[in-house]
Structure 1
Amino acid sequence: MDNHHLKLNPGKTEMIFIPAKTSPHLDLSISLGDTTLTPSSSARNLSVVMDSRLSLSENIVAVTRSCRFFLYNIRRIRPFLTPYSTQLLVQAMVLSRLDYCNSLLAGLPASAIRPLQLIQNAAARLVFNLPKYSHVTPLRTSIHWLPVMACIKFKTLVLAFQAVKGSSPAYPQKTIRPYTPARPLRSASTGRLAPPPLRTSTSRSRLLSVLAPRWWNELPVEVRTVISLHLPKLTHLFKQHLSPSLPTSL
């Protein structure tokens, strides 16, 4: 991890990368006779490609390549499929790959997510058998597909909801907690989450403990305080990211 120090927070699994002013290049190569073993710049864990800087750029490239392969093959048989069967096939083979572990992409800039969004746009055009460069927002609206960035945000909100309700693993429950004021206030019943410490709540932080409370507290009160998980939050994101003509009940 060039030009960076790795700091492990005791008792937690969060990793914080701190830029170093001077960091010598470490040679981790191992020589065994005529063979030299060099460390890889990335590793695969549960089908997710993790690079040394946790930028997930190599994982995005791998997902994009896989989705293009399936889109190419579906396009070859598209004349024999109905729009509905094409949608089911695309959701099973393409969108499932875009959604897999997508909460790891939370906090990345839109430029990094753009290749995945282009894949989703191509999939929407394929469902309706439309040519390239067709406007995709009405297409996504009609088949109820959230944009990739909104899907990432929704998955993070789901993790926050599960942490608050106690249905998530122990670690998210320790880092994502309901907001409890020091004295009785009206805000105690609004379903807010406790903000992270100021030292970690920078605008560029990608920690789940930072993004989840921030995005959760931005939701309307009626969404934060519902008992059901799926419909209210998903409908709110549809209204926010898609056409206003979308019906309120899906």
Structure 2
Amino acid sequence: MVGIRKIGQIRRFLDRETTTRLMHAFISSRLDYCNSIHVALPKTLLRKLQMIQNSAARLYVCQTKHRDHITPILHELHWLPVKEGVNFKILLLTYKSLHALAPRHIDNVLTPQSLCRNLRSNSQNRLVPAKVKTISYGHRALSYAAPMLWNSLPNYIKDAQSVVLFKRLLKTYLFNKTY
């Protein structure tokens, strides 16, 4: 990305806080923009996006060497990896859809699980994943990925009373799971 190079050219004149803000404004915002559609990307392309985030964190914010491990740096900056950012966005859309805060076309993709018998699992707020025809691409569809991610969440996160609380609990959960 051109933004990383331009920030790198003026990095020696900036303090760490200003550099972090610039990275969020020009790099992270582009990585996060519409990242819910990144669920359909193959791992090779997600890896390229991760490399952009890693170089932004490593070289320009923390000024560490290329061979230094990136996990402690991302942990220190409190940045989720790209794949977890995509999962965060998918789960946020799912939460909003279940609480009638999302666009209607997303509501049509998600189907709540309803059982004909009264079981304990009825209270777990689960979704039914769509049936997929192709293994390689079907698992990347929102209709399959969103229910699978949603069903893997603990109930205390799914039962959050507001979007703000849900986002906070979800980011903490994904952050702790990753690091």
- TM-score normalised to structure 2 length: 0.90
Q: Name the SS of the counterpart of 1:175 in structure 2.
A: coil
Q: CA RMSD in A?
A: 1.6
Are 1:155 and 2:92 matched, yes or no?
A: no
1:194 shift after superposition: 2.5
1:131 shift after superposition: 2.2
The alignment of Structure 1 onto Structure 2 pairs a total of residues equal to 174
Match of 1:233 in 2: 170
Match of 1:167 in 2: 101
**Deviation string for 1:5-35 (max 9, x for gaps)?**
xxxxxxxxxxxxxxxxxxxxxxxxxxxxxxx
Q: Which amino acid aligns with 2:31?
A: L
Work out the CA distance in 2 between the residues paired with 1:160 and 1:135.
Answer: 33
Change in CA separation of 1:152 and 1:167 when aligned onto 2, cut-off 3 Å? same
Matches within 5 A, 1:1-250: 68-125=1-58, 126-196=60-130, 198-200=131-133, 202=135, 204-205=137-138, 206-227=140-161, 228-242=165-179
**Greater per-residue strand proportion:** 1
Q: Which amino acid aligns with 2:36?
A: S
1:100 shift after superposition: 0.8
Alignment gaps of 5+ in structure 1: 1-67, 243-250
**Deviation string for 1:126-165 (max 9, x for gaps)?**
1011222221111111111000011111111111111100
Q: Name the SS of the counterpart of 2:28 in structure 1.
A: helix
1:109 shift after superposition: 2.9
Q: Which has the larger radius of gyration?
A: 1
Q: Percent identity?
A: 36
- TM-score normalised to structure 1 length: 0.66
